[in-house]
Amino acid sequence: MAGSDPAAGAGSAAGDGVRVAVVGGGAVGVTAAHDLAAAGADVTLFEKGDLASGSSGRAAGVLYDAYAEDVDAELGARALERFRKLSGTGEFEFTECPYVMLAREGDDDLAEAVAGAAERMRVHDRDVETVDGDALGDRFPSLRTDDVAVAAVARNAGWVDPGSYVAAVADLAASAGAEIRTDSAVAVSTTPPGVTVASEAPVTRRFDAVVVAAGAHTKRLLADAGIAVPLKPYRVQALVSARGYDGPMWYDASAGAYARPHPAGLLAGDGTVPVEADPDEWDLEADDWFLADAGEVLRDRAGHDPDVERAWAGLCTATPDGDPLLGAVADGVFVAAGWQGHGFMRAPATGEVVARQVLGEREGVPGFDPGRFDGDEAFEISEGMAVETDDGAENRD
């Protein structure tokens, strides 16, 4: 990124004369806006509220490149590279911290799946080690490990505050020449590409390209433009505990819960509600059942009796196959959405990819082309972090 990421994808003149609208002021949107502006494009970013007021501002901030699939591993590694290079810009800081994924004794299929996923991660040169409960306990005495059958320990990992990332990159985008417009709801048009700003209606502003990276609102924005995409927003939940915690980041696959260090003490979550949510009218507060379940897991796994400072729900977006939609959906109209809960951790890479697609510098990402769907597919929402087993549960790690 400008001043902090000299390896950002596009050359300094690649976007000269190209007018681009970016819809969505979250992590992917501001990254795409920055990379396009740094390449010389005339960029306007439209955000209906405040920057990071949607899913990015409510994300967990857990980062790693420990993916079992090659394209996910590539994007995860590139994202971590850019996160690290940005660290120290504004208030944004990347904190190194190992990530542990574990399965409990008795969950034989799940334990086999964790070990298998770790092996596939190593095939893609990810720095991931498989250990048993005793070895895990020796390494991380803050965790209870006597019931652990197997764990995968990823060392190339860390955590950040998501809101500070969005703020830092938005500032860099503005410095590169992008216009950042908040409180600017828009409608998207396709023939030609453009947007109609609600406060300026009925005037449509024409652009050479429009990037829709509006998270849970992406489906409706595109539907209003006559483009059907199979996206379902759904609620996930998190809490911050004010009690101290000095262990690793961890995901207990048997319990379906994760935790990481936090400046206030500890952040924990998942609390997936596998029901399609209304992105304009949904419950922002954490459910009582989630608070009870999270507290039980934290006490059991980390000896941590949570002192809940705050708790909330955010929206993730699901697709039929659990992979995102990244690329063109019409001439000059691009989408970047459907990250199944992993959107923020890959935002620096995916924002870069869609920017390079707009500029004609890169083909689509294998498996992520929106054209693989008709747009009207029926599908069930699954937990974004679930581990793939022989009986069909999925792992996005």
Q: What's the order of all strands across the beta sheet hosting 19-23?
A: 179-181, 42-46, 19-23, 209-212, 333-337, 325-330
**ω into 324 cis (within 30 of 0):** no
Average pLDDT value for residue range 189-201: 93
How crowded is residue 10: how many other Cβ atoms within 10 Å of its Cβ? 21
Positive or negative torsion for Cα 394, 161, 218, 64:
negative
Q: Quick check: 197 pLDDT over 50?
A: yes
Query: For residue 22, what are the β-bridge partners?
Result: 45, 211
Can you give the residue ranges of every domain in the chain? 1-96+158-230+319-383, 97-157+232-318
On whether the CB atoms of residues 107 and 254 are closer than 8 A, the answer is yes
What's the length of the chain? 397
| Burial (CB count <10 Å: 0-12, 13-18, 19+), residue 397 | buried
Q: How is residue 46 written in tokens?
A: 């439209």
Topology at the third CATH level for domain 97-157+232-318: D-Amino Acid Oxidase; Chain A, domain 2 (3.30.9)
d(CA 316, CA 219): 12
What pLDDT, on the 0 to 100 scale, is given for residue 5?
54
Higher pLDDT, 271 or 348: 348
Share of the chain above pLDDT 90, in %: 89
**Dihedral sign computed on CA atoms, order 194, 198, 201, 202:** positive
pLDDT of residue 55: 93
Residue type present at position 260: R
* Angle at 345 (CA atoms; ends 22, 12), nearest 5 degrees: 45
Q: Is the pLDDT reported for residue 314 higher than 90?
A: yes
In sequence order, what are the beta bridge partners of 129? 153
Confidence at residue 392, expressed as pLDDT on a 0 to 100 scale: 43
Per DSSP, 318 falls in state E
Residue 159 has pLDDT above 90, yes or no: yes
Residue 397 pLDDT > 50, yes or no?
Answer: no
At residue 323, what is the residue type? D
d(CA 291, CA 287): 7
The pair of structure tokens assigned to 301 is 């796994």
pLDDT of 372 > 90? The answer is: yes
DSSP character at residue 203: P
Please tell me which residue, 360 or 9, carries the higher pLDDT value. 360
* Angle at 395 (CA atoms; ends 391, 396), nearest 5 degrees: 155
Kindly report the pTM of this predicted structure: 0.94
Residue 395 has a pLDDT of 41
Location of structure tokens 């679930």: 386
Q: Do domains 1-96+158-230+319-383 and 97-157+232-318 have the same CATH topology?
A: no
* Reported confidence tier of residue 382, pLDDT bands at 50, 70, 90: confident
What would be the CATH architecture of the domain defined by 1-96+158-230+319-383? 3-Layer(bba) Sandwich (3.50)
Cα separation, 96 vs 306, in Å, equals 23
Q: Which of 328, 319, 331 is nearest to 364 (CA)?
A: 328
Query: Cα 87 from chain centroid?
Result: 18
What is the distance between the alpha carbons of residues 32 and 20, in angstroms, rounded to a whole number? 10
Look at residue 201 in the predicted model and tell me its pLDDT.
80
Q: What is the mean pLDDT of residues 66-73?
A: 92
For the chain, the average pLDDT equals 93
Q: Which residues have a Cβ under 8 Å from the Cβ of 94 and sit 6 or more positions away?
A: 63, 83, 84, 86, 87, 158, 160
Q: What confidence tier does 224 reach under pLDDT thresholds 50, 70, 90?
A: very high
Q: How far is CA 256 from CA 187, 245, 287, 351, in A?
A: 37, 20, 16, 29
What are 140-152's pLDDT values in tens digits? Answer: 999 999 999 999 9
Both structure tokens of 191: 């023939």
CA 50, distance to chain mean position in Å, is: 18
